[in-house]
A and B are shown apart, each in its own frame.
Chain A
């Protein structure tokens, strides 16, 4: 079944990701050490957080979870799917209902008109109006497909570096929550602090102490306050 589904994996090409497409990503350091028997623990966490499609009959706006990075419809994840030697490669899938505002407004008005005609009334209360809107939303959800976003995540287990292939702030917040909930390990966003503390930079203890108290420098001569006033 999975192999059959993968035949269509070319349809995923063109998106941002680990296997193909443009490369825009945010990087994280894993703050905690890998636990013993981590792959077994990770499998449990991934199963708990695998993607579950939206159910139109439920009051749920978004669904978020892991899927196969090579084919997002494949939700059967085992270590053979996501372990690539020293890497764990998964995709975060987010499905959301996105009913266009104009569509919702028009269908709600039509439903309100229908109820008023059926009950031979000239107006509906605010509560009845809201009920009509809810009915329309539930009905439209049965007729439309949710929008799907799939974003790859690559975790180099040896280096403790995670790359998430989106620069969207909201996506990154969702990703950090999903990662920590799945693997039970904390992430530190890459930035000047993480870069300075990386193994490659290799600061010694004295240098780390100096870094903790370093203050911004002014790169121009003269009265900086006067210059900033001119700016």
Chain B
């Protein structure tokens, strides 16, 4: 197998990685210990997310504004078998913050924002910018490495993938006309809140709250 074929063959790992990252942040938190990073790295999904299918020529869903990963629509798209293909991510290390738009299909970055560069001299500014970009690469490669190692380990099929499937399934059930009679099965999210009380987070507008259901 030539190099180009090998590169193209594993391109699906990019969207799988971004979706795993979404799952990982929601279930275990946003903190990551990364080899080579001086401090714990926090990763957040920001205000931009694209969810699409890598297997079929399906529509892409573009989400902008608010916090798309917690939106009902984004989770519903996951339940249709789509994966995250692009997202604006924030990386935080101590008091420093980076922001990128990660295109998962080829792991390219756009709109990279790095912490403020202090140097005034051209040459020093160059070194500082490169250092900050390399720190960003270190964080992203480290987290991608954690995913790849999990992805190719035997426990992927037995533990991690079932957990991701459960997480995806816990999102909003998609209402289809044929199943409208079975309303009871269409829960929004497991919750202990009595059905007559809205479990919605009052601090969030309804379109950003994946948990909420309006009172009927």
Q: Closest Cβ of chain A: how far from B46's Cβ, in Å?
A: 16
**Is A100 positioned at the interface, with any CB of B under 8 Å from its CB?**
no
| Residues on A with beta carbons closer than 8 Å to the beta carbon of B126 | 18-19, 84, 89
A20-B125 contact, Cβ under 8 Å, with A200-B142, A219-B83: yes
* Interface residues in B148-206 (C-beta closer than 8 Å to A): 148-149, 151-152, 156, 161, 164-166, 168-169, 176
**Is B116 positioned at the interface, with any CB of A under 8 Å from its CB?**
no
CA distance A220 to B164 in the complex (A): 8
Stretch at the interface among B25-33, B74-82, B89-97, B207-215: B74-82
A interface residue count range (under 10 / 10 to 19 / 20 to 34 / 35 or more): 35 or more
Stretch at the interface among A40-48, A72-80, A205-213: A205-213
| Residues on B with beta carbons closer than 8 Å to the beta carbon of A31 | 3
**Is A141 positioned at the interface, with any CB of B under 8 Å from its CB?**
no
**Is A203 positioned at the interface, with any CB of B under 8 Å from its CB?**
yes
Residue of A22, A24, A202 most packed against chain B (CB within 10 A): A24
**Is B62 positioned at the interface, with any CB of A under 8 Å from its CB?**
no
B152 and A211 within 8 A (CB): yes
CA distance A231 to B108 in the complex (A): 27
A218 and B81 within 8 A (CB): yes
- Interface digits, B33-55 against A, CB 8 Å rule (1 contact, 0 not)? 00110000000000000000111
The 3 tightest CB contacts between A and B, nearest first, are A201-B145, A23-B112, A192-B13
Q: What are 30 pairs between A and B in contact, CB < 8 Å?
A: A19-B126, A26-B108, A27-B137, A31-B3, A84-B127, A85-B127, A167-B108, A191-B7, A191-B11, A192-B13, A193-B6, A193-B7, A193-B10, A200-B138, A201-B141, A201-B149, A203-B148, A211-B152, A212-B6, A216-B54, A217-B161, A218-B81, A220-B78, A220-B80, A220-B168, A221-B165, A221-B166, A227-B81, A230-B176, A231-B59
Binding site for B on A (CB under 8 A): 18-20, 22-27, 31, 70, 84-85, 87, 89, 154, 156, 159, 161, 163, 167, 188-196, 198, 200-203, 207, 210-212, 214, 216-221, 224, 227-228, 230-231
